[in-house]
Amino acid sequence: MPTYIVRPLPTFRTLFPHKMIMTYFVDGGPVWGTSHMFYIEGSAKHIIIDASSRYEVEVKRLPPGFKAEPVMSPEDALASVGLKPKDIDVVILTHLHQDHVSNISAFTNAEIYVQEDELNFARAPHPFWSVMYPKENVEKIMRMKLRVIRGDYQIDESIKILMTPGHTPGTQSVQVETSAGPAIIAGFCCIEENFEPPAPMKATGIEVIPPGILTDLIQAYDSALKIKEQAKIIIPSHGNRLPKKIP
């Protein structure tokens, strides 16, 4: 089985005023979350996970108490691995929240993988979550070359999409075989602490912390636990301590 390298490509950082936005019911004051695209190096195709967004877009939509700062534009992030948006063959969208998809129209030659449950929800979101699914983003996605899937899906021998709902109805994560074992990019909005519960929580049997933004708490917990059990390396989608390449 071939092994690949995962390269996190950070685009911007967001300061959340309360940590429980990332870690369900566990507060700790403000916390940063870094938004990424992830490039899979070594595959015959140029594959990225998530299309991300732009700092200029995100900073305008943030509610009071939130802050953002740029890291790299999506173009500069791709250029750091020698690519342009037109070079990308496959984009796997973990879910369709604004910060993960608003740059999708840049990938004019790519096939876009999305879960059917997520696409259906995004097209008619519950009013409470409609702010996370701007209509213009959904319209952009619908104009792309879509590959709509249901459940787990094998991209190639070493890349597998995992259905991991709870954060949203159709959140998916991506398992990549690396030289150090399976690495899983956790598709829900999470940081390192989601997989590192504090000692008092672990003492009660809690092994992971679901994301603070979710549509189903039990699904979100089970999805995080699934990743922790299956991954040799966990890559949180908004992680703040990610190396430039994994492994």
Domain boundaries along the sequence of the chain: 6-236
Annotate 193-210 with DSSP letters as a single string: GGGS--HHHHHTT-----
Dump pLDDT digits (tens) for 168-206.
999 999 999 999 999 999 999 999 999 999 999 999 999
Helix (H, G, I), strand (E, B) or coil at 137: helix
Q: What average pLDDT does this structure show over 17-29?
A: 94
pLDDT-based confidence at 85, cuts 50/70/90?
Answer: very high
Q: Which CATH homologous superfamily contains domain 6-236?
A: Ribonuclease Z/Hydroxyacylglutathione hydrolase-like (3.60.15.10)
Say if CB 171 and CB 161 are below 8 A apart. no
Q: What is the pLDDT of residue 27?
A: 86
Place of tokens 């949203």: 168
Q: What is the pLDDT of residue 192?
A: 98
Residue 176: what are its φ and ψ, rounded to 5°? -125, 130
The overall pTM is greater than 0.95? yes
Q: Which amino acid is at 29?
A: G
